[in-house]
Amino acid sequence: MIETDFIEIGNNDGLDDNRDQDELSESSPSHQAVDESDSSEDEVSPRNTIGEVPLEWYKDEKHIGYDIAGKKITKKERRDKLDSFLASADDSKIWRKIYDEYNDEEVELTKEETKLIHRLLKGKAPHAEFDPYAPYVDWFKWDDAKHPLSNAPEPKRRFIPSKWESKKVVEYVRAIRKGLIKFDQPKEEPHFYLLWGDDSSSADRTKHLAYIPPPKPKLPGHEESYNPSLEYIPTQEEINSYQLMYEEDRPKFIPKRFTSFRSIPAYENAIKDSFERCLDLYLCPRARKKRINIDPESLKPKLPSRKDLRPYPVTCYLEYRGHEGAVLSISVEPSGQWIASGSKDGTVRIWEVETGRCLRVWDIGEAVQHVAWNPLSELPILAVSAGPDVLILNTGFGNEEEQKKVKELLHIGTPTSSDDSDDMSSFLSWVQDEKHDCIRLRHYRTVSSIEWHRKGDYLSTVMPAGESRAILIHQLSKKLTQKLPFKLHGLPVSSVFHPTRSIFFVATKKIVRVYDLLKQKLIKKLETHLREVSSIAVHPTGDNVIVGSKEGKLCWFDMDLSTKPYKTLKCHPKDITNVAFHRSYPLFASCSDDCTAYVFHGMVYADLNQNPLIVPLEILRGHTSSDGRGVLDCKFHPRQPWLFTAGADSSVKLYCH
Amino acid sequence: MEIDRETNEDNSRRIQVRFLTKLKAPYKVPTTAIAIPSDLSRFGLSSIVNKLLQAVDSEWKTEPFDFLINGELVRMSLEQFLLAKGISAEKILEIEYIVAVAPRKEEEPSLHDDWVSAVDGSSPWFILTGCYDGLGRVWKGAGWCTHILEGHSGPISSVSIINSEGAGSATVATASKDQTLRLWKFDAEDSSDHPARIRAFKILRGHNASIHSVAAKTSGDLVCSGSWDCTINLWRTNDSDTDGDVVTIKKRKVKNKAEESQSEGEAVSTLVGHTQCVSCVVWPQHETIYSASWDHSVRRWDVETGKDLSDIFCGKVLNCIDIGGEGSALIAAGGSDPILRIWDPRKPGTSAPVFQFSSHSSWISACKWLNRSSFHLLSSSYDGKVMLWDLRTAWPLAIIDTHKDKVLCADWWKGDSVVSGGVDALLQISSDICIQ
């Protein structure tokens, strides 16, 4: 009935389909009869060939796919609900029919198939022929075996979870939670590797011992042949000349000629070579040489450009000529209008800075070791050391009132030293000098350096050979002399007052000692590690000290930082004769017997965390050497970035910015 | 022309030029265009002009000329000049010629006893010099000293002629390193062979350090002085009869032994602001003082209020300053380096110098503008040279190197001479400089 309906409604294709289906349904029982396969699906290949694609794709198409010949399989006309209901009511076999979406057809189940389903539903084996309770046939025969693999019944413990294991697990869990046990992080395997990279570097990556390939021996050439051409064979003269060569230069192998292979003798050095090889392996194990590829330029500290650090002294424009001997010392008047110079020819001269005119000359009669202006500009007096004497000269500058004051100060009424009960009088005396109208302080040993206190009243003198009285402090207003209340170790070289506080620096040959004059105790010992200190200068803020040495080294001490040098600058090939700080500009300088003066930028920051910045700026040349001595003194102008240098060539030079 | 034929053997390029001049009759050449080789320099051009003049006047004596193209002096070969300035060589080039600015005569040096530290040539009748021996001297001409100004106990650092009406009486001021200024009066007519020794009529005390510079107001009733004590003081120059008499009477009692009456003056006002030595002051206009200092600044002061109106910082110590040039507004200053700098304060928003002349090789000790020209100035330096400059070229017009040592001071005199003094204790007068 239905099928006829189909025929009526469907077109020719549909008709063919039905026929196919008929054929299939006819053939299927025969197939099933042939072999006992589990499913009939395997044999009945699906009519549709679209494969496992979602059927939705064909939802809007007229066909549902293609048959094996590639033709379109047209969809059947969809019956409406009423028709299908009527059809199902009429058809008694409707319960056996299933709609196959894939092939768009209805399949009628056979009786065997329904039975199979019934058995499945009941939970039995689907095939009726299968017997689940068939007698057991053992594949392995135990009959004549002496020992069974195990005859014992399975012990109970095999079936019970282990108590100790669970305890151990709990223990581990706790340890993990507490973080006592840490798991190794899963190693991150590099996703990519350099396919064509160098093998040696990949060997580095592995943690094995690095394989070091032995050096490749030279490949044998013609001359190593047992029968080389004649031109490779050395003549007898050449062989003789080898004997004259050094053993290292001698050729290791001398080509020889053999007519046949069998006439080659045994290698005479075989044992020696293998012995040497063993020695090599034992004594000179090959090691991988790590070559560091660093640009040496990048290791240099980054310093600011010299251009940014201007102004600093560069060129010499003015010269102060007139001395007849080496100028040993210079000193700049605190306002910067005049400089004083003391020379080996026994004169002290005062020069006008801007024109280079010599304004005054004093003939002391003895080589002038040191000159020092009083730091007060209203007290124009000059301290001069010559031999064992220290003279305090009145320069005659300043207006009348100032001159009056100076004259009062430099006048000694009654010999004050006589009424002093201490033993100082035998070592030192204050004498009025009539010739130069000044005070003469007569020491008992040669005075090498003088230093004024910033207030202009105290004056310290250094006598290197003075033993316990090597450093004396004189008070000008009271005409009194004290010796330093500290025991000195070693020969004192120079002494400096702290620019702001009552601290006193004494440089001996190796060590700079820092004393507090108020508390009368040693504060610090600066260890220079130099052979012989020659000069010392204190930064105007007072926390930094530079020390010049006779081996040409300059040490910068940051006293807040350490008692060891913050920086040691090895710049001069000869003795450093003096070092100086600028009062206001961040400059310092050193001068040396190599006839040069070096100018440095030395910035000290208010921030304590920042280290001082030291930049070498300029080498000032111009002086000529005389008696092996070069530049003997250098001083900065107090207000301008200018440097005065005094040379052994009896000239004083001014270097301007 | 004749010259063309003489020089056209070489294969160099030729330029059509026409010589023009603003000079008077004997210097005029025909204004026809002529072709000259392009590799001629100033000397070649000058000889051409001289030959042209000779063609007109057979008695003509050769004279060096300078040449201006588009307002710039030619200081290289013509070809290079045209290339550098991008001037076309095709059309006729107009070259203006002027008589070269160079001293033609060196007068006998006037001998001093010590270094000559200051010179003033602002009066056409005499030259005033200051010397390190503490004496001021008045010179009528080369080697002819008429007056010696006696009284300073220290070297004179600066001199200034306050006023000199006619050839008659003159008032001058001297500043010294003995911390005083002295004012002097003398009759400039006086022309005896023996120099007359005169004493100051007024001593001005008030500075606390040596005085470096003195300058007089144009009207002559005030002088200002710059000193090492960082201040500029203003002083009255008039005689004791007006306001200084209180002081005068007191001092007369003390110094009644002095034959001549010497009055003392005190500073009228003090200009404070510089932080270091005031090395030079000039008073070019009625109410404005310019000062240069070692604190690297040039300041302009208003005299009435005593305030400083503007600063120029140069970075170097300044030793000398002068105002002049175009509209009397350019500031020329030199100092502790060999560069003579010129600023234009009218240029807004910049303190960079408009001109820098750097042919000297040491400190510059003096610079002076020529009054009647807006281009010419001179500078003297510690390298022993006095150089004449024209703003229209970067090279010096003339170099006077008659001094054997540092030149400490220099000035123009009578508009056609340069007077300079130095460490060799000589006052050199280089005269006969022709400046139009």
The tokens 């007191």 sit on which residue? B250
pLDDT at A205: 53
- Arithmetic mean of pLDDT, A94-108: 81
Residues of A in Cβ contact (< 8 Å) with B132? 357
Residues of A in Cβ contact (< 8 Å) with B117? 355
- End-to-end, the C-alpha distance of chain A in Å comes to 124
How far, in Å, CA of A385 to CA of B135, rounded?
35
Is the Cβ–Cβ distance between B224 and B281 less than 8 Å? yes
Q: Which residues contact B32 (CB under 8 A, 6 or more apart)?
A: B18
Check pLDDT > 80 for residue A144: no
Tell which CATH architecture fits domain B2-99.
Answer: Roll (3.10)
Which of B210, B294, B338 lies nearest to residue A640, judging by beta carbons? B294
How far, in Å, CA of A40 to CA of A114, rounded?
13
**Tokens found for residue A635:** 């001083």
pLDDT at A341: 92
What pLDDT band is residue A32 in, cutting at 50, 70 and 90?
very low
For chain B, the domains span: 2-99, 105-431
Mean pLDDT of chain B: 83
A325, amino acid identity: G
**Tokens found for residue B229:** 């004590």
Beta-strand pair B116-120/B196-199: unpaired
How far, in Å, CA of A119 to CA of A143, rounded?
40
Which of B155, B277, B336 lies nearest to residue A317, judging by beta carbons? B336
Which of B345, B342, B340, B360 shows the shortest CA–CA distance to B401? B360
Give the residue, A287 or B4, on which the prediction is more confident: A287
Other beta carbons less than 10 A from residue B27's beta carbon = 16
Whether the CB of A584 is below 8 Å from some CB of chain B: the reply is no
Beta-strand pair A72-74/A63-66: antiparallel
Find, in chain A, the residue whose alpha carbon is nearest to that of B363: A317
Which of B228, B317, B363 lies nearest to residue A337, judging by beta carbons? B228
What pLDDT band is residue B102 in, cutting at 50, 70 and 90?
confident
φ and ψ at B216, to 5 degrees? -105, 150
Helices marked H in B318-364: none
pLDDT tens-digit series, residues B34-51: 888 888 888 888 888 888
Query: C-alpha B324: how far from its chain's center?
Result: 10
Which of B265, B274, B263, B256 shows the shortest CA–CA distance to B212? B274
CATH 2.130.10.10 segments of chain A: 308-656
3-state secondary structure of A278: helix
Mean pLDDT of chain A: 82
**Tokens found for residue B62:** 């050769």
- End-to-end, the C-alpha distance of chain B in Å comes to 30
- Which has the minimum average pLDDT: B6-20, B184-198, B396-410? B6-20
The burial of B315, by beta-carbon neighbours within 10 Å (0-12 exposed, 13-18 middle, 19 or more buried), is given as middle
Check pLDDT > 50 for residue B242: no
Check pLDDT > 80 for residue A22: no
Q: What distance in Å separates residue B374's CA from the closest CA in chain A?
A: 30
Q: Which residues of A400-439 are buried (b: 16+ CB within 10 A; e: fewer)?
A: eebeeebeebbeeeeeebeeeeeebbebbbbeebeebebb
Residues of B in Cβ contact (< 8 Å) with A311? 315
Best of B382, B385, B403, B407 to disrupt the A interface (most A CBs within 10 Å) is: B382
Beta-strand pair B231-236/B211-216: unpaired
| Rounded CA Rg of chain A | 56
How far, in Å, CA of A132 to CA of B324, rounded?
132
pLDDT at A27: 40
| A527: β partners | A511
Answer whether A640 sits within 8 Å of B336, measured CB to CB.
Answer: yes
Whether the CB of A640 is below 8 Å from some CB of chain B: the reply is yes
Answer whether B276 sits within 8 Å of A639, measured CB to CB.
Answer: yes
How far, in Å, CA of B108 to CA of B418, rounded?
13
Whether the CB of A399 is below 8 Å from some CB of chain B: the reply is yes
Residues of B in Cβ contact (< 8 Å) with A638? none
**Tokens found for residue A124:** 């039995």
Which of A626, A276, A320, A640 shows the shortest CA–CA distance to B318? A640
φ and ψ at B138, to 5 degrees? -115, 125
Is the Cβ–Cβ distance between B191 and B140 less than 8 Å? yes
Q: Give CA angle at A470 (A467, A473), nearest 5°.
A: 150
Residue window 541-570, chain A: list those with CB within 8 Å of chain B.
none
Give the whole-number percent of chain A exceeding pLDDT 90: 14
Find, in chain B, the residue whose alpha carbon is nearest to that of A377: B209
Query: For residue A70, is it left (φ>0), alpha (ψ between -120 and 50) or beta?
Result: left
Check pLDDT > 70 for residue A523: yes
pLDDT at A422: 52
Answer whether B337 sits within 8 Å of A317, measured CB to CB.
Answer: yes
Q: What distance in Å separates residue A391's CA from the closest CA in chain B?
A: 25
Check pLDDT > 60 for residue A610: yes
Whether the CB of A657 is below 8 Å from some CB of chain B: the reply is yes
A308-656: CATH number: 2.130.10.10
- pTM, rounded to two decimals: 0.69
Beta-strand pair A567-570/A553-558: antiparallel
- Maximum average pLDDT range among A66-80, A265-279, B189-203: A265-279
Is the Cβ–Cβ distance between B201 and B188 less than 8 Å? no
**Tokens found for residue B359:** 């042919």
Which of B160, B143, B136, B115 shows the shortest CA–CA distance to B403? B115
Give the residue, A632 or B6, on which the prediction is more confident: A632
Check pLDDT > 50 for residue B173: yes
Residues of B in Cβ contact (< 8 Å) with A640? 294, 317, 336
Same fold, B2-99 and B105-431: no
- Arithmetic mean of pLDDT, A494-512: 88
Find, in chain B, the residue whose alpha carbon is nearest to that of A315: B337
pLDDT at A171: 95
Answer whether A399 sits within 8 Å of B276, measured CB to CB.
Answer: no
Answer whether B208 sits within 8 Å of A399, measured CB to CB.
Answer: yes
Best of A316, A355, A585 to disrupt the B interface (most B CBs within 10 Å) is: A355
Answer whether B294 sits within 8 Å of A639, measured CB to CB.
Answer: yes
Check pLDDT > 70 for residue A60: yes
Complete DSSP assignment for B34-56:
EEEETT--HHHHHHHHHHHHHHH
Q: Which residues contact B237 (CB under 8 A, 6 or more apart)?
A: B162, B171, B173, B183, B202, B216, B220, B221, B222, B223
Which of B209, B337, B408 lies nearest to residue A656, judging by beta carbons? B337
Where are the strands (E) in A219-325, listed by range?
A: 315-321
Which of A657, A133, A421, A498 shows the shortest CA–CA distance to B339? A657
Which of A337, A357, A639 lies nearest to residue B132, judging by beta carbons? A357
Is the Cβ–Cβ distance between B300 and B316 less than 8 Å? no
pLDDT tens-digit series, residues B399-421: 888 888 889 999 998 888 899 99
Check pLDDT > 90 for residue B105: no
Between the alpha carbon of residue A296 and those of residues A520, A571, A613, B351, the distances in Å are: 50, 20, 22, 43
Which of B276, B315, B423 lies nearest to residue A311, judging by beta carbons? B315
Q: Which residues contact B113 (CB under 8 A, 6 or more apart)?
A: B131, B133, B135, B425
Whether the CB of A625 is below 8 Å from some CB of chain B: the reply is no
How far, in Å, CA of B415 to CA of B370, rounded?
7
Which CATH topology does B105-431 take? Methylamine Dehydrogenase; Chain H (2.130.10)
H-run or E-run covering A66:
strand A63-66
3-state SS track over A435-501:
CCCEEEEECCCCCCEEEECCCCCEEEEECCCCHHHCEEEEECCCCEEEECCCCCCCCEEEEEECCCC
Q: Which residues contact A1 (CB under 8 A, 6 or more apart)?
A: A87, A90, A91
Which of B132, B228, B317 lies nearest to residue A335, judging by beta carbons? B228
pLDDT at A45: 62
B280, amino acid identity: C
3-state secondary structure of A123: coil
Which of A311, A317, A399 lies nearest to residue B382, judging by beta carbons? A317
Between the alpha carbon of residue A351 and those of residues A318, A652, B135, B255, B316, the distances in Å are: 11, 10, 20, 33, 21
ipTM: 0.85
Answer whether A355 sits within 8 Å of B408, measured CB to CB.
Answer: yes
- Arithmetic mean of pLDDT, A468-484: 84
Q: Is the peptide bond before A311 cis (omega within 30 degrees of 0)?
A: yes
- Arithmetic mean of pLDDT, B208-232: 88
Other beta carbons less than 10 A from residue A284's beta carbon = 8
How far, in Å, CA of B363 to CA of B318, rounded?
9
**Tokens found for residue A276:** 């040497």
